[in-house]
A = this chain, B = another copy of it.
Amino acid sequence: MNNPIKIAVDAMGGENSPLKVIKGIEIHSSNTQNVFYNIFGNKHVIDSIIKNTKISKNNYQIVHTENSIADTDSPLSAAKKGKDSSMWLSIESLKKNESDAIVSAGNTGALFVIAKLNLKMIEKIDKPALSALWPNKNGMNIVLDLGANLECNEKNLVDFSFMGAALHKSLFENEDAKVAILNIGSEELKGNSVIKNTFQILNEKKNPLFEFKGYIEGNHIMDGNVNVIVTDGFTGNIALKTAEGTANFISSELKSAYSSSFLGKISALLNIKNLKNFKKKLDPRLYNGAILLGLDKPVIKSHGSTDEIGFANSLKVCEKIIKSNLIDKIKKNII
């Protein structure tokens, strides 16, 4: 390979790992070129899986680790005991410039703390933020913060706006980034002082990275009029999970409506094609995981319960972020 991009992969995190991780690499590597995978985890287990895949031997190396971090570990205990874990070592390979970005489907809190311990913050940014993709009527939103910081000041929210816009530009290069602050009303006078101050700052300082669209209410997140939604980590986490719960509730209610009668069963069969299209659009694996922004190297969290397709999508996000120079975009634009 000619100067490949290098992705560090924590193979041991999340459900059904390392199987889904290796299968995810197989899917991703078959659709791309010039990507090298630094795989961290139990070499014996990984070897026995990888030999049955089509992944070229030139495209990866396995770094053996005995230890791995469990989903039940607290972030601090993981950071203390986990220095020889697959998660720690894969992040350390970023610090040593051996990899350009890392993907893990493991313990989110631990990943966050270990990344903060090992990597530097981007200059002028005080707090990293957890961001994720969230579908809207026209495409995808970036929403941040989703839980890294329970309390944020106006400087944090302004930083999040720039980081989120840079991420949107990296993932969807042909679209213009449009930033809005999540609030309980759309008028200027609504919200607490942090939100109002953020509005003021973003409204006054025009910038080349994004258009500032003011406030957005929860019921308009998916309308598609904006595509970067900024909030503190407490509110963002509640909003994301409430949307997830609502979607689950509706689909389980729909299912019981469909299966409650013979007629329902027949028409459910007829509907398979339409529902497939619908499900494809809403497939959570397409916008799987989260991206930690604010550190000087990209840290990508794949969802613990995702499968190989979801993991492959996280690898694709990773690749896009590296190729589009996300970190440079943030550095150049941050105020």
Q: Which residue of B lies closest to A136 (CB)?
A: B249
Residues in chain B near residue A234, CB distance under 8 A: 184, 191-192, 235
Interface of A, helix, strand, loop or mixed by DSSP: helix
A1 at the interface (CB under 8 A from B): no
Knowing that A218-B245, A219-B244 touch, tell me 8 more A-B residue pairs with CB under 8 angstroms: A151-B192, A191-B234, A192-B234, A218-B237, A219-B242, A222-B245, A238-B239, A243-B243
**What interface size band does chain A fall in?**
35 or more
B267→A274 contact, CB < 8 A: yes
Q: What 1/0 mask marks residues of chain A from 128 to 169 whose CB sits below 8 Å from any chain B CB?
A: 000000011100000000010011000000000000000000
A217 at the interface (CB under 8 A from B): yes
A281 at the interface (CB under 8 A from B): yes
Binds B, one of A50-58, A253-261, A292-300: A253-261
B239→A260 contact, CB < 8 A: no
Given contacts A260-B277, A278-B253, contact A218 B239 (CB under 8 A): yes
B235→A217 contact, CB < 8 A: no
A246→B263 contact, CB < 8 A: no
A250 to chain B, nearest CB (A): 6
A103 at the interface (CB under 8 A from B): no
Residues in chain B near residue A237, CB distance under 8 A: 184, 218
A184→B264 contact, CB < 8 A: no
A182 at the interface (CB under 8 A from B): yes
Q: What 1/0 mask marks residues of chain A from 163 to 187 whose CB sits below 8 Å from any chain B CB?
A: 0000000000000000000101000
* Assembly CA distance A25 to B151 (angstroms): 46
A70 at the interface (CB under 8 A from B): no
Residues in chain B near residue A261, CB distance under 8 A: 273-274
